[in-house]
Amino acid sequence: MNFFEHQDLARKKTARLVVLFAIAVALILVAIYAVSVLALGFVGFTEAARGSGGEVGGPVFRVWDPIALLIAVGVGTVLIGGGSLYKMSQLRAGGMAIAAELGGSLLTHNNADADGQRLLNVVEEMAIASGVPVPPVYLLDKEVGINAFAAGYAPEDAVIGVTRGAVHGLSREQLQGVIAHEFSHILSGDMRLNLRLVAVLHGILILGLTGAAIMRGMFYAGAGHRRSSRDNNGGGVMIAIFAIAAALAAIGYIGTLFGNLIKSAVSRQREFLADASAVQFTRNPDGIAGALKVLGGAKRKGRLVSPNAPEASHMFFGDALSRAMGGAMSTHPPLDKRIRRIDPSWDGTFLSPREAPRDGFRRERDIAPRPGDGGGVSGIDLDEIAVAMGLAPGSLSESDARVIHRGGERVVSIHRPGEPPIVRTQRWGDAPKPGEGFAVVPAKMVARAGELDAQSVEHAQRLIERIPRHLRDAAHDPFEARAVILSMLVQPDRGRRSADADRAARTKQSTLLRQADPGLFRMVARLAPSVQSLDGDLRLPLLEQAMQPIASLSPPQVDAFRRLVDAFIAADDSVSVFEWVLRRLLNRRLDAAAGKVQRPRVRYYGLGQLSDECSVLLSAIARAGVADSDSEGTEAEAQAAFGAADRFLTSVDLAFRPASESGLRSFADATDTLDTTSAKVKKQLLEACAAAVMHDGKVTPREAELFRAVAESLRVPMPVMFATGE
């Protein structure tokens, strides 16, 4: 199932949630009505008895009672509807609100230990590989259970939360499996449904909380209040109030029951799908299967201590509440079934979590040998290595081996006193060589939207490794990350013909920055040479690394930085493709972090009315792949690229636009309008764009950047399009 089918399925799941919620509310209102009828009948009987001074007939209960109906509707509107709306307003900030409620704190490269750094690296690799913004990571430091979650309304405002038990108790490959599982929820549209489910369930559960609060208040009122009530003939009213409160508490339990049924109906099958996706993403079933085995072997399993865990339990990797790990009302399938779907040969033995680290180095010795390995550390034959070292078979043990993970490899290094280290590697699959792409057919390229695979992850790892270490470190610091991005915008020297103009623009940028922030000026002066010398295919990965830390700055700092970016871009009175892409991506990230992103409603389910926008979009894409020249040859190349794209949009009349009509401003307006099309139409548009990019068999860095910006503008996560030429 591809990204576009996932979007349609997510809408169907939302409709199912609405139906289940409506049924639950209707049944709860019926229960409130019945209780109100009983309470009013007893109140009427009590008051009649007091008025007559003696016995009267029994209480009268009416099947139809307008007052009881008014009470039921009022309680339902105020408590259920009001509670849900209140929770929705609380969750307007998206995933960050959930992370805060669960006690999470932002994890950064500046405050993370060795295991935290490893987690951040895994998240970063998968984000860059899948084409989604690098999500903030929140550490649930008080939670020792093995668990994790992804939350947000869309990929651009997603966050990932991981418990301390998972960070320290899982090996890298197991942690990678868990994060891949969570990225499946990000890419499939599950997160939005999960947040809506939290708001809905809050409205149902608040009934029980309200009833319990009223009962506690009446008990605290004391005997004096009861005497006062009797003196004023209010005993019947007090009895009715107490009865209603007790009923609300009971109905609250019914709400809990329905809430668990809804969560179970919505969540269970998605967990199986996310587990399967994790295997696909990492090409390593041992990762996700190992994490599930550690989850089963952990003392606290996945249980959380946060009081807010019940309403968010359906979001987690493992069962956050149940001790039995998979009862009939559980939000997750039984743990053994999840494991056997990935590892049919599993013998039922769970694994123990790793011990908490005592220093910065950790041996990864909890990697279990797979069936048929014949001993060794996860497929590495230690006897073979012993012979290579001139030792007798059986003389090496796992205590002599250190395991690290590098890209798509597991590297085992043998260290013995007085002996040189022996290294053996085990690959999980061949990744493409630098410069190679995965798809040359546009339809296949776009079919990878919202998907993640081991090749993309390994390619992202290699891209990150090619970025100089001091630039990666700078990109991970909120203040230095500003200097990294501004260094990308420093006006380059393009040669003799424009030397004076370039020099004037650089002088303008330098003067502006020196006056605005001398400290930032020094950072840019230090980093700009390295940034400017980067290969073209490394600019977007470095930009992705730098944007997320900037979002953690204060609003005034973010606003000041935005103004600096705009001023740097305007220094030469023109906007290049990369400058437009950078500003577009940066503003999207910062708006999402501030809770300002609003997903547009679908207005167009076809392209019949959008011929102008399609023509502008494809003309701009076609021109991005040719040299900056107005010669007839380059114009012919652009027309050829446009023609290749035209064949993918046969339902609309397209016309190749001159450069004056397909500039960046027109391009931006066109993509904004096309963002209001349906998922099916967006798929067609991206296929046409990919055809224009790939028509000559190569992808320039500028084409890759612009294609990424188009996909981002259409809110479609696209894996890296690999640059194959200049």
Residues 301-330: tens digit of each pLDDT: 899 989 888 778 888 998 887 654 445 557
Residue-level pLDDT at 370: 35
Question: Same domain, yes or no, for 695 and 637?
Answer: yes
pLDDT of residue 107: 93
Q: What is the tally of structural domains in the chain?
A: 4
The string of pLDDT tens digits covering residues 540-584 is 899 999 998 998 888 999 999 999 999 999 988 888 878 888 998
pLDDT score at 652: 87
Structure tokens at 641: 């690229």
**Segment among 50-64, 106-120, 635-649 with least mean pLDDT:** 50-64
Contacts 24+ apart (CB under 8 A), 312-316: 312/98, 312/101, 312/102, 312/149, 312/151, 312/198, 313/263, 314/194, 314/197, 314/263, 314/266, 314/267, 315/98, 315/149, 315/150, 315/151, 315/194, 315/198, 316/147, 316/148, 316/149
Count CB neighbours of 227 within 10 A: 10
Range of the domain at 413: 382-389+396-427
pLDDT of residue 368: 35
Find the range with the poorest average confidence among 79-93, 140-154, 257-271, 686-700: 257-271
Task: Check residue 23 and give its pLDDT.
Answer: 75
Position 75 scores a pLDDT of: 73
pLDDT, one tens digit per residue, over 215-264 is 777 666 654 454 454 445 455 566 667 766 777 777 777 666 766 676 66
pLDDT at 427: 42
Question: Judging by DSSP bridges, how do beta strands 422-427 and 148-151 pair with one another?
Answer: unpaired
Q: What pLDDT was estimated at residue 602? A: 87
Of 182, 311, 451, 544, which one is the catalytic site residue? 182
Compute the distance between CA of residue 512 and CA of residue 486 in angstroms, rounded to an integer. Answer: 12
Choosing from 267, 294, 326, the residue where a domain stops is 267
Residues 580 and 488 in one domain: yes
| In-domain check, residue 301 | no
Q: What is the pLDDT of residue 240?
A: 60
In the chain, what percentage of residues exceed pLDDT 70? 70
Work out the average pLDDT over 276-292: 86
For residue 308, being part of any structural domain is answered with no
Beta-sheet pairing, 422-427 with 159-163: unpaired
* pLDDT per residue as tens digits for the range 438-461: 344 566 667 666 667 777 788 888
What Å distances lie between residue 59 and 53, 138, 238, 242, 544, CA to CA? 16, 58, 17, 18, 71
Q: How confident is the model at residue 611 (pLDDT cuts 50, 70, 90)?
A: very high
* pLDDT over 50 (residue 22): yes
- Domain-terminating residue out of 593, 620, 655: 593
For the chain, the first-to-last Cα distance in angstroms comes to 34
Tell me, yes or no, whether 491 and 604 share the same domain. Answer: no
Are 616 and 694 contained in the same domain?
yes
Which string of b and e fits 700-715 if b means at least 16 CB within 10 Å? bbbbbbbbbbbbbbbb
Alpha helices in 189-234 (DSSP H): 190-231
Cα(154)–Cα(191) distance, rounded to whole angstroms?
7
- Within 10 A of 272 (CB to CB), how many other CB atoms are there? 15
In this predicted structure, what is the pLDDT of residue 289? 92
* 47-61, 105-119, 379-393, range with the lowest pLDDT: 47-61
Which pLDDT band holds residue 636 (cuts at 50, 70, 90)? confident
Cβ neighbours of residue 66 closer than 8 Å, sequence gap 6 or more: none
Sheet architecture: strand order including 401-406: 401-406, 409-414, 422-427
Task: Please check whether residues 572 and 613 belong to one and the same domain.
Answer: no
Give CA separation, 281 vs 170, 200, 454, 608, in Å: 18, 32, 5, 37
Whether 284 is in a domain gets the answer: no
Q: Which helix (H) or strand (E) holds 422?
A: strand 422-427
Confidence of residue 266 (pLDDT cuts 50, 70, 90): low
Confidence band, pLDDT 50/70/90 cuts, at residue 517: very high
For residue 141, being part of any structural domain is answered with no
pLDDT of residue 1: 43
Give pLDDT tens digits for 186-214: 887 778 777 777 777 777 777 776 777 77
Rg of the chain over CA atoms, in angstroms? 31
Quote the pTM value. 0.74
Boundary-marking domain end, from 217, 235, 267: 267
pLDDT at residue number 106 = 92
Span 263-274, average pLDDT:
73
CB 18 within 8 A of CB 265: no
Q: Is residue 277 part of a domain?
A: no
584-606: pLDDT as tens digits: 889 888 888 887 767 778 899 89
- Residue 528's pLDDT is 93
pLDDT band of residue 333 (cuts 50, 70, 90) is confident
Is 662 a residue whose pLDDT tops 50?
yes
Q: Which has more confidence, 141 or 83?
A: 141
Q: Please report, rounded to a whole number, the percentage of residues in the chain having pLDDT higher than 90.
A: 23
Between residues 499 and 33, the one the model is more confident about = 33
Out of 22-36, 421-435, 667-681, 685-699, give the one with best mean pLDDT: 667-681
pLDDT score, position 33: 83
588 in the same domain as 526 = yes
The reply to whether 619 and 648 lie within a common domain is: yes
Domain assignment present for 215: yes
Are 525 and 414 members of one domain? no
Whether residue 76 is found in the same domain as residue 34: yes
Tokens of 151: 């939350």
User: Is residue 230 in a domain?
Assistant: yes
In the predicted model, what is the mean pLDDT of residues 349-377? 48
Is 182 among the catalytic positions? yes
Q: Find how far residue 242's CA is from the centre of its chain.
A: 45
Examine the domain organization and report whether 535 and 658 are in the same domain: no
pLDDT tens-digit profile of 617-629?
999 888 887 755 4
Q: What letter represents residue 122's amino acid?
A: V
Residues 655 and 517 in one domain: no
Residue 640 has pLDDT above 70, yes or no: yes
Average pLDDT of the residues of the chain: 76
For residues 657 and 635, the answer to whether their CB atoms sit within 8 Å is no
Do 477 and 575 have their domain in common?
yes
Instruction: Tell me if 554 is assigned to some domain.
Output: yes
